[in-house]
Amino acid sequence: MEDLAAVFDPQGMFDFPDPYPLFTELRRTSPVTSFQFLKRLAYVVTRYDDVRAVLQDGETYSSRANAEVGRYMGRTLIEMDGGEHGRMRALVQGAFGGRTLEALVPTIEALAHERVDRLAGDGRADLVAQFSLLFPLDVIAGILGLPRSDHAQFQRWSLDLIAFSKDPSRAHGAAERLREYFLPFIRLRRDEPRADVISRLVTGTVSGVGLTDDEVVSFLRLLLPAGAETTSRLLGSMLYALLAERERLARVDADRTLMPWAIEETLRWETPVVFVARQTTRPVEIAGTPIPSNTMVSTIIGSANRDETHFDDPDRFDLDRRAEDHLSFAFGRHFCLGYHLAKLEARIGLTAIIDRLRDLRFDPAEPAPAITGLAFRSPRSLPVRFDA
């Protein structure tokens, strides 16, 4: 078996080619195993039932393991537990409910078509660089009600912040600039609310108490990696899967009722976020392995979603699979607030591409694309050709 400390080295996670053979071996031989991560003891959990149980038990497995993210985002939902988490979630979840998002559909559709319009006449494109990377950031800016003239600068700051694990100094600078940028909008929306997400965040209350300016800023910053980046990766991996065997794309084009299942299967087959960290609050035992208190437990979502005891033929991308019980949006009290938005964007984005870019195919003159990464997975580029 590979040295897990080397596998989970943060500097090597971005280019990791294919972790699934390792995950299969771990599930079979060492479903819960320890390794040294950044000079501290950590455990990985790889089987579906065990991963689900850890994510469901917020009392035993604390989210404070994610406190590192707070250095860049501020204190956010993903590191909160108990009553603090419940209060914050109650305050922000209304901004991402189904009814709220339905009102945003025309805005999201217009943004998708605008992105496709920019490349449709060329006959070739990189669908990551020119669409899946930028469209989700367009959507975040749009639903926040930011001026169109600011979108390009907002995207630059956002991309710098999202890359905090690669360039911490640059990310810190972007975080501060985003704070300075957001604060005037927050104060304006307190005085003059509109039909946008910032207004919903600043006007919502629980027991008469709302969010402070800094709490709103932290949540808005978290939207970038938690909302925009994960959706970008979902779109990229879905397009890759459909183009890798073009009969899949043809089926979805001919029968749009398959589109939601293409999204669900992509989330299962290549989850954007491969593992989620927790920290034990007491000594525990998982699958016969004792784990001390105050120890990091890394649930490998990408392994759970390919557990052969839960999913048939799990390494195969199957449009006819109806596997809505994947764990890509986590489980339990920390189930992803933005799952409606992510799937809505994926559906609208894929529809715009299929409708406009006919005879879509990989560009044979370019290197074959591949999905890579360990902490986060998606293709870095998707060079394609199509009828102009």
- Which are the contacts of 156, defined by CB distance < 8 A and separation ≥ 6? none
Per-residue pLDDT, 279? 95
DSSP state of 368: P
Q: For residue range 174-227, what is the model confidence (pLDDT) as tens digits?
A: 999 999 999 999 999 999 998 888 988 898 887 788 889 999 999 898 888 777
Compute the distance between CA of residue 251 and CA of residue 318 in angstroms, rounded to an integer.
12
Task: Give 157-176 pLDDT, tens digit per residue.
Answer: 988 887 787 788 998 999 99
> Which SS3 state, helix, strand or coil, does residue 58 take?
coil
- Is 195:306 a contact under the CB 8 Å cutoff? no
Q: Which domain holds residue 373?
A: 4-385
- On whether the CB atoms of residues 204 and 211 are closer than 8 A, the answer is yes
Q: Given pLDDT bands bounded at 50, 70 and 90, which one contains residue 151?
A: confident
Per-residue confidence (pLDDT) for residue 10, from 0 to 100: 65
Q: What does pTM read for this prediction?
A: 0.92
Q: What is the DSSP letter of 369?
A: P
Quick one: average pLDDT of 268-274?
96
103 pLDDT higher than 90: no
Q: What is the pLDDT of residue 182?
A: 94
Q: Count CA within 13 A, CB hemisphere, residue 184.
A: 6
CB 238 within 8 A of CB 146: no
Domain count, the chain: 1
Per-residue DSSP letter, 384: E
pLDDT (tens digit, 9 = 90+) per residue, 346-370?
A: 999 999 999 999 999 999 999 999 9
Going by DSSP bridges, is the β-strand pair 383-385/361-362 parallel, antiparallel, or unpaired? antiparallel
DSSP 101: H
Q: Which 3 state secondary structure label does DSSP give 120?
A: coil
Q: How far apart are CA 363 and CA 249, in angstroms?
A: 16
**Mean pLDDT of the chain, nearest integer:** 91
* Residue 271 pLDDT greater than 60, yes or no: yes
| pLDDT > 80? residue 343 | yes
d(CA 57, CA 20): 26
Look at residue 2 in the predicted model and tell me its pLDDT: 63
Give the pLDDT mean for 254-259.
98
Q: Give the total residue count for the chain.
A: 388
Q: Average the pLDDT over 234-262 and give the result.
A: 98
22 touches 28 (CB < 8 A): no
Q: What is the CATH number for 94? A: 1.10.630.10
- pLDDT grade for 305, boundaries at 50, 70 and 90: very high
Neighbours of 135 (CB within 10 A): 25
Report how far residue 347's alpha carbon sits from residue 333's, in angstroms, rounded to the nearest whole number. 26
| CA–centroid distance for 359 within its chain | 29
Q: What is the pLDDT of residue 108?
A: 94
Chain-centroid distance of CA 206 in Å reads: 27
3 CB neighbour count, 10 Å cutoff = 10
